[in-house]
Amino acid sequence: MYVPSHFEEARPEVMHALMRSYPLGVLVVQTAKGLDANHIPFVSDTNPAPWGSLRCHVARANPVWSSLEQARDALVIFQGPDAYVSPSAYEAKRKDGKVVPTWNYVAVHAYGRARVIHDREWLLEQLNALTVEHEAGREHPWRVTDAPSDYTDKLLNAIVGIEITIEKLIGKWKVSQNRSRTDRRNVADDLRQQPGAHADMIELLERE
């Protein structure tokens, strides 16, 4: 990923925070037939230091896990908030018109080595961690134990676990840092007037 210095985010804690907030990652793996990409919810962990790890599960019918047993290198892409930025928000639009549209976005690329796991206890722990994290805040959170045990046992046989030890994290926070403070404020104000959910991007614009 091309990352100009003014858009670079190198703090592991900030990148892990984004992975927790936007846990649906794209797992990219090299297979015998070429690159393969799967959209999978991950549980991220800051251990082991310095970069942490990622855990997920896939259907046993999904060939991605067998590909990882052959070539263990993996890339997981996490996409945070994004928004189209109109040049109408820039001061230069009114001064000389020398502006063009762009797109603001936040992304993390996690590179690492994958381990395929068939252990039922590991799988059950991963399912519990995933559901506890995403059921948190509900008045009556669903738990894995709410399902009949024989049903859960059957499903455990149908999935395979993947654990990725992260070896490199690359973060890109493209949130108009190359523009003036006035432009960033104007972009935030413009996004407030546009349809769609832009609250997270507006917060980033006003924070930078």
Mean pLDDT across the chain: 95
CB 70 within 8 A of CB 144: no
> Domain 5-82+104-178 has what CATH class?
mainly beta
The H-or-E segment that residue 30 falls in is: strand 24-31
- The percentage of residues in the chain with a pLDDT greater than 90, rounded to a whole number, is 90
Q: What is the pLDDT of residues 102-141, one digit of tens each?
A: 999 999 999 999 999 999 999 999 999 999 999 998 999 9
Q: Is the pLDDT of residue 208 over 80?
A: no
- pLDDT, greater one: 92 or 117: 117
| Rounded-to-integer distance, Cα 195 and Cα 100, Å | 21
- pLDDT, greater one: 98 or 57: 57
| Rounded-to-integer distance, Cα 54 and Cα 41, Å | 10
HEC sequence for 110-130? EEEEEEEECCHHHHHHHHHHH
pLDDT band at 74 (very low <50, low <70, confident <90, very high): very high
Q: What is the pLDDT of residues 77-89, one digit of tens each?
A: 999 999 999 999 9
Q: Is 150 exposed, middle or buried (0-12, 13-18, 19+ CB in 10 A)?
A: exposed
Q: Is the pLDDT of residue 43 over 70?
A: yes
Please state the domain extents for the chain: 5-82+104-178
Segment 184-196 shows an average pLDDT of 94
| Rounded-to-integer distance, Cα 106 and Cα 79, Å | 6
Q: What is the pLDDT of residue 97?
A: 74
* Buried/exposed code over 183-193 (b: 16+ C-beta within 10 A; e: otherwise): bbebbbebbee
Q: What is the pLDDT of residue 34?
A: 94
